[in-house]
Amino acid sequence: MSDTPVTELAAAKVNLTLRVGPARADGYHPLDSLVVFADWGDRIEVRPAPGLLLTMSGEASRALAPDGSNLVLKAARALQAESGVTDGAMIRLHKQIPVEAGLGGGSADAAATLRALNRLWGLNWPLDRLAEIGLALGADVPACLYSRPLRMRGIGEWIDILPGFDAFDAVILNPGVRVPTGPIFKAFDAADPAPLADSWPMGDNRLDWLRGERNDLEAPAMARHTAIAAALDWLRGRDGVALARMSGSGASCYALCQDRAAAEAIAADYDGFAIAVRLEGGAR
């Protein structure tokens, strides 16, 4: 085991597109999503300790409990159990991603914990092996382990990395409402959705392709939370915005911008939580 602290970025996940099908017999929804990661998010630091301990900082951490229900500790215990490691770790989570925000914060934290402990404990397992553990923790955890532009299908277990995907200057905005995922999927199911259709092939112009895609959870989320619709209207009215859409099951929205200066100006102009980011692959 390394004596040196190990740090990992838990990058915010953004669903540029999200197609969803009706629930399967097991209750899970099949999906097809183009996922990218920001150069911003939470941060995990791990260092040697006799047992597993978790401390948290950052305003967003106030909404979390540092107990067995926390995905960070669940991830650490799952890796211990799978690897047979008896060493512990002091885990520090600095949380900036809002909770229940459609940005995969909990999944990103779990994934960063698996990557960090994999290094601290000298396991050196490949990401594919860590992803098998991650899927049991949450459908988004495998994608967050890779933290690179990718296509996510199935319930999150089918991952296709997209090398050379264009990076975007963007704004991530959260309108200040927490949106639990369950009720949004329930509202989606109530509308008797059609079977999941494959997205059409991506051409050379990624932005044009994105404009032709959608987020199937956007309408049911906006119906339950008018603040999401207001946030999207606000973004779409800003100069320099090429595309605005909700991420995941909400409430966070993103805007793809013409350049970094436009993204920073839009973020500064919003009366609430907004940050200029680069959307590509986030793990550092």
The answer to the question of residue 137 being in a domain is yes
When pLDDT is averaged across residues 264-280 and rounded to a whole number, the result is 97
Distance CA(243)–CA(221), nearest Å, equals 18
113: domain CATH number? 3.30.230.10
- If asked whether residues 47 and 126 sit together in one domain, one would say yes
Indicate the number of domains in the chain: 2
For the cut 90, the answer to whether the pLDDT of residue 177 exceeds it is yes
On whether both 148 and 178 belong to a single domain, the answer is no
Percent of the chain whose predicted confidence (pLDDT) is above 70? 98
Cβ 112 vs Cβ 8: under 8 Å: yes
pLDDT-based confidence at residue 1 (cuts at 50, 70, 90): confident
Q: What is the pLDDT of residue 143?
A: 97
Q: Which residue has the higher pLDDT, 282 or 154?
A: 154
The kind and range of the H/E element at 140 are none
Specify whether 97 is located in the same domain as 133.
Answer: yes
Residue 215 has what DSSP assignment?
Answer: B
Among 132, 161, 190, residue at a domain's last position: 161
Residue 246 lies in a domain: yes
* Active-site annotation holds for 13: yes
| Same domain? 102 vs 233 | no
Confidence label for 282 from pLDDT (cuts 50, 70 and 90): low
Question: Residue 47 class from Cβ within 10 Å (0-12 exposed, 13-18 middle, 19+ buried)?
Answer: middle
pLDDT at 217: 98
Single out the residue in 108, 131, 161 at which a domain terminates. Answer: 161
Q: Looking at the structure, do residues 187 and 210 belong to the same domain, yes or no?
A: yes
Q: What is the mean pLDDT of residues 70-81?
A: 97
| Domain containing residue 276 | 168-280
Residues 268, 136 share a domain: no
Q: Which pLDDT value is given to residue 237?
A: 98
Alpha-helical runs (H) found in the chain: 71-83, 105-120, 127-137, 141-146, 181-190, 206-211, 218-224, 226-236, 260-269
Do 224 and 141 share a structural domain? no
Mapped to the 3 state alphabet, what secondary structure does 151-200 carry? EEEECCCEEEECCCCCCEEEEEEECCCCCCHHHHHHHHHHCCCCCCCCCC
pTM, entire model:
0.95
Kindly state whether residue 231 falls inside one of the protein's structural domains. Answer: yes
To 5 degrees, how large is the angle CA 52–CA 54–CA 57?
A: 165
Distance of CA 162 to CAs 73, 98, 147, 159, Å?
A: 30, 27, 11, 9
Whether 225 and 148 map to the same domain: the answer is: no
Domain assignment of residue 148, yes or no: yes
Backbone φ, ψ for residue 151 (5° rounding): -105, 130
Q: What is the CATH number for 213?
A: 3.30.70.890
DSSP 8-state symbol, 212: T
Catalytic residue among 42, 140, 169, 216: 140
- Band of residue 202 on the pLDDT scale cut at 50, 70, 90: confident
Of 51-65, 104-118, 202-216, the range with the highest mean pLDDT is: 104-118
pLDDT in tens, 18-55: 999 999 999 999 999 999 999 999 999 999 999 999 99
Assigned domain for 1 exists: no
Q: What angle do CA 244, 248, 253 make, to 5 degrees?
A: 30
- Looking at the fold, whether 31 and 147 belong to one and the same domain comes out as yes
Q: Are residues 76 and 132 in the same domain?
A: yes
When pLDDT is cut at 50, 70 and 90, the band that residue 283 belongs to is low
Annotated binding site for ATP: 98-108
pLDDT, one tens digit per residue, over 207-263 is: 999 999 999 999 999 999 999 999 999 999 999 999 999 999 999 999 999 999 999
Residue type, 112: A
Q: Which long-range contacts (CB under 8 A, 24 or more apart) does 181-184 make?
A: 181/100, 181/248, 181/249, 183/224, 184/217, 184/220, 184/221, 184/224, 184/249, 184/250
The pLDDT value recorded for residue 200 is 73
d(C-alpha 176, C-alpha 147), whole Å: 25
Distance CA 22, CA 252 (A): 23
Residue 138 neighbours by CB distance under 10 Å: 19
95 counts as catalytic = no
Distances (CA, A) of 272 to 86, 190, 231, 262, 268: 44, 32, 10, 17, 9
pLDDT surpasses 90 at 123: yes
Residues 184, 110 share a domain? no
In terms of domains, do 29 and 148 share one? yes
Of 161, 184, 206, the residue at which a domain comes to its end is: 161
